Amino acid sequence: MSVKSIKSCPSALFVGASVLACAMQSTAAFADPAAAPATGSQAFSWTGAYAGAEIGYAAGNSSWDVADLSYVNNGQTAANKQGFVYAGEIGYNYQLASHILVGVEAEIYGSTKSGTSYLGGEGLTAHNKFGGNVSARLGATFNRLLAFGKVGYARANYKYHLTDSYGDTADGSLTRSGLLVGGGLEYALTPKWSFKAEYDHVSYPTRTVTLNGTYYSNVAADIHEYESTVKFGVNYHF
């Protein structure tokens, strides 16, 4: 091509130079990994302290074995108990490089859990108003999603009430200790806020409670408690 023809086509030179520049930039980006955008699978970190609130529903069983006393119908009975649970929690997570999470969590709750069973003419009621637990957590992280299991120590305050067909009553109470196992899923909506769904099961071993009232005195009953709870909550991450 002659010099004259080149001068007559300046647009062709401009297009050619632009194509060459783009090709050089693409080659440099491919050759230099640092220039490419990060594609790591773990962009979100769960490490840190958090606090939150939960609400849920619990159902379980209170099994009574009443002692041999002449003015109480002796035998065994069980009450299905249920009610709402509202709780506050604090905890700390530590995320390992292998996407494994370890942590600890403490919770305190109030509840309306209650159930009544009948043994002859006596109604036997168990009611749990409040309690708490401390648990260790182990989980697996998938960026903003966390799947976890937990095991811990649970305590609960139970009130027990006996009433008969004549209106005579007796009351007693126990602070129980038991084993908690559970698990759930948690999703980070933002770097600070997450939403979770959780299932917990708590079993309290058999203990003897003594019931007393205006007519009844020293009525001994061996009672075993267990309950399962489904909860939903939000956490704020510091």
In a domain, 42, yes or no: no
In a domain, 191, yes or no: yes
How many folded domains does the chain comprise?
2
Q: Looking at the structure, do residues 21 and 94 belong to the same domain, yes or no?
A: no
Structure confidence at residue 68 as a pLDDT band (50, 70, 90): low
Q: Looking at the structure, do residues 21 and 120 belong to the same domain, yes or no?
A: no
Q: Looking at the structure, do residues 122 and 219 belong to the same domain, yes or no?
A: yes
Contacts of 194 (CB under 8 A, 6+ apart): 50, 146, 186, 187, 188, 234, 235, 237
Q: Looking at the structure, do residues 15 and 90 belong to the same domain, yes or no?
A: no
- What pLDDT score was predicted for residue 133? 98
- What pLDDT score was predicted for residue 223? 92
- What pLDDT score was predicted for residue 214? 85
Beta bridge partners of residue 124, listed in sequence order: 117, 162
In a domain, 43, yes or no: no
Q: Diameter of the chain by CA atoms?
A: 125
Is the four-CA dihedral 89, 188, 98, 49 of positive or negative sign?
A: negative
- What pLDDT score was predicted for residue 121? 76
In a domain, 74, yes or no: yes
- What pLDDT score was predicted for residue 165? 83
- For residue 232 the two structure tokens come to 């939903």
Distance CA(16)–CA(1), nearest Å, equals 15
Q: For 27-46, how does the pLDDT look when each residue is reduced to its tens digit (9 = 90+)?
A: 334 334 433 333 444 578 99
Q: For 109-149, how does the pLDDT look when each residue is reduced to its tens digit (9 = 90+)?
A: 999 999 998 887 788 999 999 999 999 999 999 999 999 99
Give pTM, 2 decimals: 0.77
- What pLDDT score was predicted for residue 8? 41
Q: Looking at the structure, do residues 84 and 119 belong to the same domain, yes or no?
A: yes
Q: Looking at the structure, do residues 74 and 145 belong to the same domain, yes or no?
A: yes
What is the residue range of 30's domain?
Answer: 3-35
Q: Looking at the structure, do residues 106 and 185 belong to the same domain, yes or no?
A: yes
Q: Looking at the structure, do residues 30 and 80 belong to the same domain, yes or no?
A: no
pLDDT > 70? residue 3: no
Q: Looking at the structure, do residues 88 and 200 belong to the same domain, yes or no?
A: yes
For the ranges 4-8, 39-43, 213-217, 233-237, the one whose mean pLDDT is highest: 233-237
In a domain, 182, yes or no: yes
Q: Looking at the structure, do residues 9 and 99 belong to the same domain, yes or no?
A: no
Contacts of 144 (CB under 8 A, 6+ apart): 44, 187, 188
- What pLDDT score was predicted for residue 117? 87
Q: Looking at the structure, do residues 61 and 22 belong to the same domain, yes or no?
A: no
Q: For 174-227, how does the pLDDT look when each residue is reduced to its tens digit (9 = 90+)?
A: 999 999 999 999 999 999 999 999 999 999 999 999 999 988 888 888 999 999
- What pLDDT score was predicted for residue 76? 80
CB 227 within 8 A of CB 113: yes
In a domain, 194, yes or no: yes
In a domain, 41, yes or no: no
Q: Looking at the structure, do residues 19 and 55 belong to the same domain, yes or no?
A: no
Beta bridge partners of residue 135, listed in sequence order: 105, 152
Q: Kindly state the percentage of the chain with pLDDT values over 70.
A: 79
> What CATH number is associated with residue 58?
2.40.160.20
Average pLDDT, the chain: 83
